[in-house]
Structure 1
């Protein structure tokens, strides 16, 4: 019997590491948000991966010792180049598509919802409490889960 890629829920750190590797591969390559990781932050994925896995392990399983400040690096990026509603929306789109491609179940849904809450909170904090989630082109921060992730040649 041939099973789909998304045949199980996120079960632990090994699943998180595989998920994060796939997500960051897509994010680094993305024309819209990739430069935040590659050009502005110069993210070293191998150095960053254990810390971000701790963050998600703590968020989903309450089992890791993550005590970092997730806001500070985003504030520094935003100072170098303002992050828009569209940038956060693209992050959410890639995050949800990556999870949907690998997992299904309550923890997968929790991870998608938590990612969206984080994006909304970061955008509000960086742009100001009254910031609109509407972007400059009118596209804004839309429910990207409803969109099909398309590959661009």
Structure 2
């Protein structure tokens, strides 16, 4: 069993760091989205972790200074290899699993909802509101990003 019993909420930066390390470990190994991190971006987790923790600490608690452009690196990745609704859907699935495996509570729920909103916003901004793409049904074993529109209408 994990050191966490998934019975406490995300309380701050230390908890976020553990969630993010768990998420990126799964994401890097994932056949669908792993190449975006490992091959295309060449992400160094140890260098990336403090920055992305700043991002999430700011998003959830408004306590960290995050002054970077979060869209630019995603646009560069998309230019190298288009990110699909299914790619973003997989990201959301892994993110939710990382959070759920460690935490329960209002902040954990807000982290998952924020992840879904960010994924949907990035996808729409990168791919445009192509309704044919958003309505695809070939889910390949996971919920596609399109399903999120039911919870977060445009």
Structure 1 residue ranges without an equivalent (≥5): 145-153
User: Which residue of structure 2 lines up, in the alignment, with residue 149 of structure 1?
Assistant: none
Looking at structure 2, the residues matched to 23 and 106 of structure 1 have their Cα atoms a distance apart, in angstroms, of 19
Looking at structure 2, the residues matched to 9 and 87 of structure 1 have their Cα atoms a distance apart, in angstroms, of 27
User: Which residue of structure 2 lines up, in the alignment, with residue 147 of structure 1?
Assistant: none
Looking at structure 2, the residues matched to 4 and 88 of structure 1 have their Cα atoms a distance apart, in angstroms, of 27
For residues 67-106 of structure 1, the aligned pairs below 5 Å read 67-106=67-106
User: Which residue of structure 1 lines up, in the alignment, with residue 112 of structure 2?
Assistant: 112
State the Cα deviation string for residues 65-103 of structure 1 (Å, max 9, x = none).
001111000000000000000000000000001100000
User: Which residue of structure 2 lines up, in the alignment, with residue 127 of structure 1?
Assistant: 127
Moved more, 126-135 or 90-99: 126-135
Deviation at 1:7, TM superposition (A): 1.2
Structure 2 residue ranges without an equivalent (≥5): 149-154
User: Which residue of structure 2 lines up, in the alignment, with residue 17 of structure 1?
Assistant: 17
Q: TM-score, normalised by structure 2?
A: 0.86
Deviation at 1:31, TM superposition (A): 0.3
Distance verdict in 2 for CA 1:45–1:4, change over 3 Å: closer
User: Which residue of structure 1 lines up, in the alignment, with residue 152 of structure 2?
Assistant: none
Looking at structure 1, the residues matched to 102 and 110 of structure 2 have their Cα atoms a distance apart, in angstroms, of 14
User: Which residue of structure 1 lines up, in the alignment, with residue 151 of structure 2?
Assistant: none
Deviation at 1:27, TM superposition (A): 0.2
Deviation at 1:138, TM superposition (A): 3.2
Looking at structure 1, the residues matched to 124 and 146 of structure 2 have their Cα atoms a distance apart, in angstroms, of 15
Q: Is the 8 A contact 1:16 1:53 kept in 2?
A: yes
User: Which residue of structure 2 lines up, in the alignment, with residue 141 of structure 1?
Assistant: 145
Deviation at 1:128, TM superposition (A): 1.0
Q: Secondary structure at the match of 2:134?
A: coil
Q: Is the 8 A contact 1:85 1:134 kept in 2?
A: no
State the Cα deviation string for residues 49-68 of structure 1 (Å, max 9, x = none).
00000000001110000011
